[in-house]
Amino acid sequence: MKKQHPKHEQTLVVLKPDGIQRSLIGEIIKRFEQLGLKLTAVKMLVPTADFVKKHYTLDPEWPLKTGQKTIKAYHDRGLKHPVSDDPLKVSEVILQKLIRYMTSGPVVAMVWQGAHAVEMVRKLVGGTEPRTSDVGTIRGDYVLDSYAMSDIDGRSIRNLIHASGSVTEADMEIPLWFKQEEIVEYKLVQEAILYDVNLDGLLE
Ligand code: ADP
């Protein structure tokens, strides 16, 4: 049975091929560790095209949402999307580019656990487009890609990292990437400070 306390929430993070090539594995892991989250699974692999497609279509709403988000980003800058006004056509093109991007080299997949893990990780990761991601976020601080540039070059936005967008998404994505036995249940000593009701035993 799923444990209900927020401290048990888990999320999937994937460091994309550009994140690995930029030597940012340690830096990005450090951000989640410093927040207080617990790493419960990790592996490196080169995903296949089928696997990437499966990952991005686990959520049946993804094509519509992603197409709409992209078209809105254009409208917000007074521009028309170069491919189409139809979100589903836009996301079909995005998916093809994403497959090329995500299969280009090794990725590191991880499961992070802790209070409100999905929301906290997304906050640290920032928005889809690094150009408009907030300063202080991973996508805002470590990379400078933009829709304008990725469209000119006909490629995916390079934004270093994937993180589950909701608890429902995390619950579908984690079992796709990890077998149950690859996820380790263990205690981190610091969890006593983060979650215990009373901070007993600190004083000598
Ligand atoms: P996020 O990763 O921020 O949750 P999405 O799920 O909407 O974003 O999209 C998945 C990935 O597809 C993005 O992280 C990015 O690499 C790529 N992508 C999304 N929209 C575009 C776009 N308009 N142009 C190029 N690549 C895109």
Phi, psi of 39 (to 5 degrees): -80, 120
Q: Which residue(s) pair with 11 in the sheet?
A: 112
User: Quick one: pLDDT at residue 46?
Assistant: 98
User: Quick one: pLDDT at residue 81?
Assistant: 86
Residue 2, pLDDT > 90, answer no
Regarding the beta carbon of 165 and ligand 1, being less than 6 Å apart is answered yes
Share of the chain above pLDDT 70, in %: 99
Which residue of 75, 98, 143 sits with most ligand 1 atoms within 8 Å of its CB, as the best mutation to test the pocket?
98
- Considering 75, 81, 116, 162, which one is annotated as catalytic? 162
Residue 200, pLDDT > 90, answer no
| Residue 172 neighbours by CB distance under 10 Å | 14
Residue 197, pLDDT > 80, answer yes
* Domains of the chain by start residue, with CATH: 1-46+107-195 (3.30.70.141), 50-104 (no CATH)
- Average pLDDT of the residues in 78-91: 90
Supply the residue whose CA is at minimum distance from atom 6 of ligand 1.
Answer: 66
The pTM score is 0.95
**Tokens matching residue 26:** 């340690």
User: Quick one: pLDDT at residue 89?
Assistant: 95
Which residue of 61, 94, 118, 123 sits with most ligand 1 atoms within 8 Å of its CB, as the best mutation to test the pocket?
94
CA distances from 114 to 3, 11, 69, 105, 122 (A): 12, 9, 28, 29, 13
Residue 179, pLDDT > 70, answer yes
User: Quick one: pLDDT at residue 1?
Assistant: 58
> Relative to the CA of 73, which ligand 1 atom is closest?
23
**Tokens matching residue 107:** 């990725």
User: Quick one: pLDDT at residue 37?
Assistant: 98
CA distances from 140 to 37, 56, 125 (A): 21, 23, 8
Give the closest residue to 16 by CA, choosing from 149, 182, 168, 163: 163
Check if 75 is active-site: no
Regarding the beta carbon of 118 and ligand 1, being less than 6 Å apart is answered no
User: 155 CB contacts (<8 Å, ≥6 apart)?
Assistant: 97, 100, 101
Residue-wise pLDDT for 95-132, tens only, equals: 999 999 999 999 999 999 999 999 999 999 999 999 99
Residue-wise pLDDT for 15-69, tens only, equals: 999 999 999 999 999 999 999 999 999 999 999 999 999 999 999 999 999 999 9
pLDDT band at 8 (very low <50, low <70, confident <90, very high): very high
CA of 130 from ligand 1 middle (Å) equals: 11
User: Quick one: pLDDT at residue 4?
Assistant: 86
Regarding the beta carbon of 164 and ligand 1, being less than 6 Å apart is answered no
User: 174 CB contacts (<8 Å, ≥6 apart)?
Assistant: 10, 11, 12, 111, 164, 183
User: Quick one: pLDDT at residue 99?
Assistant: 98
Regarding the beta carbon of 91 and ligand 1, being less than 6 Å apart is answered no
Can you give 57-85 as a three-state secondary structure string? CCCCCHHHHHHHHHHHHHHHCCCCCCCCC
- Average pLDDT of the residues in 10-16: 98
Contact 39, 110 (CB under 8 A): yes
Of all helices (H) and strands (E), which one includes residue 165? none
Supply the residue whose CA is at minimum distance from atom 9 of ligand 1.
Answer: 66
User: Quick one: pLDDT at residue 201?
Assistant: 85
